Structure 1
Amino acid sequence: MPSQPAPIKKSPAKKAAEKAPEPAPEPEPAPVEAPPADAAPVEAAPAEAAPAPEGEAAPAEDTPAAEGGTPDNAAAAAPAAEDDAAAAAAAAPAAEDNAAAAAAAAAPTAEDDAAAAPAADAPSDAAPAEAAVVEEPPKAPTPPPPAVPTSAPLDLSVDDVTDSSLTIKWNTPEAIGDSGLDGYIIEYCKDGTTDWVVAQEELTSTNCYCIKNLTAGDLLHVRVVAVNRGGRSEPGTLAEPVPIREIGERPKIRIPRNLKSCYVKQVGDQINLVIPFHGKPKPVVSWLKDGQPVDARVNIRNSDMDSIIFIRHAQREDSGVYEISIKVDSFEDKATITLQIVDRPGSPANVKLLDTWGFNAALEWTPPKDNGNTEITGYTIQKADRKTGEWFSVLEHYHRLTVTITDLIMGNSYSFRVFAENQVGISEMSTVTKGVATIQKTGIVYKPPEYPERDFSEAPRFTTPLTDRAATVGYTTKLLCSVRGCPKPKIEWLKNQVIIGNDPKFRQNSTQGICSLEIRKPCCFDGGVYTCRAKNQQGEAVVSCKLEVKQVIIPEADKEKGK
């Protein structure tokens, strides 16, 4: 019996081809006849071999005879290998990688040949070789959308002009697009013609360009075109043609310092503003208010050097932004003046009495609808007693919209009103609260404070003692001392420890603690020790002094002269 053929191992290229998706149906290759049993295995072409051109069979390489084989057997196996290689080359695409994969899949590998060598008596009806698997080529990427030109350059204006050159400037277009901006082309033509001349050889990337070598006296139209990968944009063109000539003096407005900020005037004031400027030849002056022509009640007077705006009686409607424009040929200068006409504000709205408690009342209001065309700086709050009806200011220059009025009188009823203030002054009218704040009386019983009684009893005490005195005969003298005590002490005077009593020669007096003893025209016998004694229920006190009465001695000579 013939021996069973050994299992054939698949190469890695064949395994990858089997896992790949099945390609479109291709014409099947011719079946390969199995070699005779005694034929030597044929070695396959290497995988990296280049594919044969279409319509030609790939030449088979010489394969050495296997052990036990003969050259005739090797020659017999070669046509089968050539047929397999030709079929793989016919099915492979033009790409080199796919052709190499197809050749590797169609030809048996050296490993397969080695495995098939022992099967010398294999049957002649062996299975045909598998067809090559071809991958689809990748799809081409989607082309990007075509580039779009930019929008037209903006605000084309004249920057300078001489008798042989013209300088223009402009702003970047609003829409540039994804392709970016390559540059600008500047073109010009004479007035009355349509022959546009390109001013520069290469694109310019700046937003300003000077056109040179011009002829004096020409009247030129100028336009600017933006260029990118999408092509040329719509042109930006000067509004008027430009005369090529030397300008005597460019127009320039000199705004006074006090007009550079907001100029504020009150309603009814006279406004006379002088705006100086320069320019030769005489500039053309025009005025606008808030972008519109100036009202007829606003007088405009122009000269070669200045422009005067005059309003006899200013009104609130005259407020706004005034724009002056002076123009010399294609050159222009502009300036703005902000005029604000202010007036007193209106009265506050919705003044409400929110609450009343104790001696307090709470108020609330809203700002006036008419602020006088200027900011509200504060409020004045007044109150009036319903009994008298006279108004008194409680708060001035108050900034809040709520307030609490305090120190109201119990039992009285009050009305309140509010004025608005701005930089002009206080509002002419006020808003009065609809409600009345009544301060209710409460049942309060006054209890005077209770103080503990104090015992002010005090024994007599001399605060100023008697002092020794010397008196002259015939001259009245007085003894003084002071005493305190409670109750008021009784005062007694003694002479040489004897109570003087009601002797008419002595006059005793005690007023508010001051004790005095007057001795009328004392003689030599009135000298001695005088004592003042004070007594009350708490005790007594004494104080003494010595009185000396001296006699005046007249010399004998004086006596004789007196006789």
Structure 2
Amino acid sequence: MPSKPAPIKKAAKKEPAKKEEKAPEPAPEVAPAPAEGEAAPAEAAPAEGEAPAAPPAEEPKAPTPPPADAAPTDEAAAPVAADQPATDEETPAAPAEAPVDAAAPATEETSAATKAPADAAAPVAEETPAAAAEAPADATTAPATEEAAPAADSEAPADAEAAEAPAPEEPKPPTPPPPPPKEPTSVPLDLFVEDKNDTSVTIIWSQPETVGPSGLDGYTIEVCKDGTEDWKAVNEDLQKSCRYVIKNQTTGDRLKIRVVAVNAGGRSPPVTLPEAVLVKEVADRPKVRLPRFLRQRYVAQVGAKINLTIPFTGKPKPVVTWTKNGQPLDTKRVNIRSTDRDSILFIRASERDDSGVYEMCVKVDDFEDKASLILQIVELPGPPASVKIVDTWGFNVALEWTPPTDNGNTEITGYTIQKADKKTGDWFTVLEHYHRLNATISDLIMGNTYKFRVFSENKCGISNDATVAKEEAKITKTGIEYKPPEYKEHDFTEPPKFTTSLNDRATTVGYSTKLLCSVRGCPKPKVTWMKNQMIIGDDPKFRQICVQGICSLEIRKPGNFDGGVYSCKAKNDHGEATVSCKLEVKQPAVADADKK
């Protein structure tokens, strides 16, 4: 082929470089001739796929000069034959680079030599000592030189053809391997029902364990009625998430559901629910959540409005029923309003008859829950049934009474006991919040006659009426005579005496002032006011007051001439007393501007 001589030339050009790097070794004088029957290395071109074999060895001959036509080839090949020993590895190297066309006219001997196994020369190389392995070029290359001439002749036309042949094409990149076939994913995992109601079913699942290189495009959800195999997809587009709500289903149907993963490789194996799903709302057990304040007795007064809200849970909507003392409610008295979450018991105006045990029941399918609350409507109690006086001694009276017949629908918390003197008829509370049914009333007044009454009391208050004891209690004198002590009459007469005297005062013209003093005496002394030793009398400018010994003289808007010495004189049958003071009346201060 014309494109193969090029590598030969490249190899030939590289050999002289090796010669320059390593100096030739001296060749031994005698080289061992190959034994009879052994094949010598051949230089004939090997056939394709076969290792080159050496031609049969002959007597060593002098190297034949190469022809002129093969000069370039011989220049490349001569150093190899003359200077380098032909080892087992290099011997087939030169023939391997030879073109196949040059080996075509080989003789039968050459072809036989090429067919001889290369291993035939291997034992020789192994048995020959190291010195013999480096045989001189004269002995090892003798057969090669004999074949050099025809090889050069065969290479000459190859060079000419290589010169005329076009330049070799650039090597093309290797063709990529075909892509692996696309495969669907593995089956989706963990499919189960998350929720359901009367018209829809919600399912969730997990993505497949093996997705593969093709990825995952989505899921198809398919359903069919139980007992059939008519599977139909319920989603038009592929479902990306692992949750889907199957809507618009008929209540009561049983559906088989499965999910298929889809990608470029196709549909995966389906994952199917183990059992058909009944399209019906999941029953959640009902539960009444009674508020804390209703867990004990709920008390209200007569006439109060009752509005109690009791929440509950359950799914679907529970059926709520109420009873009172085990009987249906009177809808005229009690209103019930129920929603999905709670129930309200409403009474507009409560009465005593509304008291009782109310029971609320919520039911879902076969499940139910109950809660009870006690409603107590209370009012003021009635009076005690009876009150009587058991005993009277000294200044004491013993009472007893019985509880009221009407306690106001609640327990009695105490009693209030009152007494009244028959002379006055006024009632006074003796005991209150008293818990016993008997009491002893003490500290009564001897000689008086008393009545007693008792009130009942509960959490609403004291009864409107009281029960009065029919008997009366008279505290009699039992052999005791009262002798009042004899006292010496005290003489309280006393002459007048001023306990507080008058003090000097100063005032301003036009500003009223008052003089004060106090006096005592028995009998009550007569008080006289004087100015400059002259009795003031009923002068309207002065105001005289004397109350319980406190004497005062008020001077109204005194002028320049009202100043002087004022005296107060007290006199009775046993004597008299006088006190005096000085009053100074000043002019008001005048500003400089007013003076001008």
Interval of TM-score (by shorter of Structure 1 and Structure 2)? 0.3 to 0.5
TM-score (norm 2): 0.34
Q: Which has the higher helix share?
A: 2
TM-score (norm 1): 0.36
